[in-house]
Amino acid sequence: MRERIGQQLIIGLSGEELTKPEAEFIVENNIGGIILFDRNLKSVEQTHKLITDVQKLRYQTADKLPLFVSVDMEGGRVQRLKDPYTIWPPLAKLGVADSSSLCFQFTQAMGRELKAMGFNLDYAPCVDIFMNPENKVIGDRSLSSDPEQVAKLASALVRGYIKSEVLPCAKHFPGHGYTSVDSHFDLPKDERTLKDLEKDGDLEPFKRVIKARIDMIMTAHIFYPNIDPKWPVTLSPLFIQHFLRDALRFKGIIITDDLDMKALTKHHPVEGIPVQALKAGATMLLYCNEPDSPVKAVKSIARALADGEISDEIIHRNYEIIKQIKEKKLKQPIEPFSLDKVKQIIGCAEHKQLAQDIASGDVEKYLNKES
């Protein structure tokens, strides 16, 4: 059971090399994946070795499943992989062009670079609708303020990632575009009702990416007191199970945003957060920065199982969803390409030209290509 619990966690690493304690924790607990940040990404050669070392750990784990090797790569402000990788413009530039074909080419090219380096999961696209001009957290990370346009273009972005053999993860369900508080620092509150969300179109992009066969959706740390007066979305059975699973019929992985963000830790006991997220219907738990948090989470979940607070059925169901998606969707090769091949792909002239043309608005030549 511990190994099945571990498969439901994605964790951050401390630095540029995989440490012995990190490797041991991943192997002993059958951890589902890792997320890399600037602190882990010094050079192409170093990142290549780090991802290779991490992915080879699967041969020592209980079920030999490949790990999710994930990153935040949206373009614009959210760009973890810097030069010599292609520097991509923000999604707002794609919204101006309003072309599904261009969106498909954008994520296919971005995904090609990610795949070469061994990344198989990108926490993108951001499908939030830019509804509030005071919302600096989302801003140009959003495609548009028009729900239909966001929905249309988000579908194409998802298809581009899938074509490149990188799993996309649409975020942040049910939509972060109306709020103004940064959930890294406190809990955003949205006073709208469910009818308001439906009228404003918040859910339309998520409906469309589900039709595009996305395999992962990330929850938002937002509190809707007029919809669920008790729990924020990430901890809410109403939002996760009733709305996303039942009403929208999403069958893939529902992953939380980082559970160490102050939106949750300032308002809920830290040891209870992972337990409630699983009870609410989350499939995977994301821990980005605090090295002790995944250890505590595994213990908290095991204790909740022993006490009967969580049923075995939840753990088994989540494990089977993750296992099935990994076996079907993580294509060979799992490890990074050879360094020579990586250097031919990342930051290549074709990708750089595409990024520059999108940034400048000179996109006419891309608009009629097949998507």
The residue-averaged pLDDT of 198-206 equals 95
253-276 tens-digit pLDDT: 999 999 999 999 999 999 999 999
Report the pLDDT value the prediction gives residue 271, as an integer from 0 to 100. 94
Q: Is residue 200 within 8 Å of 168, Cβ to Cβ?
A: no
The residue-averaged pLDDT of 79-88 equals 96
Q: Which of 177, 183, 172, 169 is nearest to 147 (CA)?
A: 177
Q: Report the percentage of the chain scoring pLDDT > 70.
A: 99
Report the pLDDT value the prediction gives residue 37, as an integer from 0 to 100. 97
Report the pLDDT value the prediction gives residue 370, as an integer from 0 to 100. 55
Question: Does 21 have pLDDT greater than 80?
Answer: yes
Q: Which domains does the chain have, with CATH numbers?
A: 2-356 (3.20.20.300)
| pLDDT category of residue 228 using cuts at 50, 70 and 90 | very high
Maximum separation of any 2 CA atoms in the chain, in Å: 61
139-187 tens-digit pLDDT: 899 999 999 999 999 999 999 999 999 999 999 999 987 886 777 778 9
Question: Does 363 have pLDDT greater than 70?
Answer: yes
Report the pLDDT value the prediction gives residue 125, as an integer from 0 to 100. 97
| pLDDT category of residue 28 using cuts at 50, 70 and 90 | very high
What sign does the CA torsion over 199, 140, 212, 250 have?
negative
Q: Which of 77, 84, 71 is nearest to 42 (CA)?
A: 84
Report the pLDDT value the prediction gives residue 178, as an integer from 0 to 100. 80
Cis omega (within 30 of 0) for bond into 333: yes
Q: Where are the alpha helices (DSSP H) in the chain?
A: 2-6, 20-29, 44-56, 91-97, 100-117, 147-163, 194-200, 204-211, 237, 262-265, 273-280, 293-306, 312-329, 339-345, 349-360
Place of tokens 């992989």: 81
Report the pLDDT value the prediction gives residue 135, as an integer from 0 to 100. 73
Amino acid 301 reads I
The residue-averaged pLDDT of 225-249 equals 97
Give the chain's end-to-end CA distance (angstroms, integer): 43
What sign does the CA torsion over 176, 123, 150, 83 have?
positive
| Entry pTM | 0.96
The residue-averaged pLDDT of 207-222 equals 97
Which backbone phi and psi does 181 adopt, to 5 degrees? Answer: -80, 140
Calpha distance 43→366 (Å, rounded): 31
Q: Between 185 and 210, where is the model more confident?
A: 210
Catalytic residues: 184, 257
Question: Does 369 have pLDDT greater than 90?
Answer: no
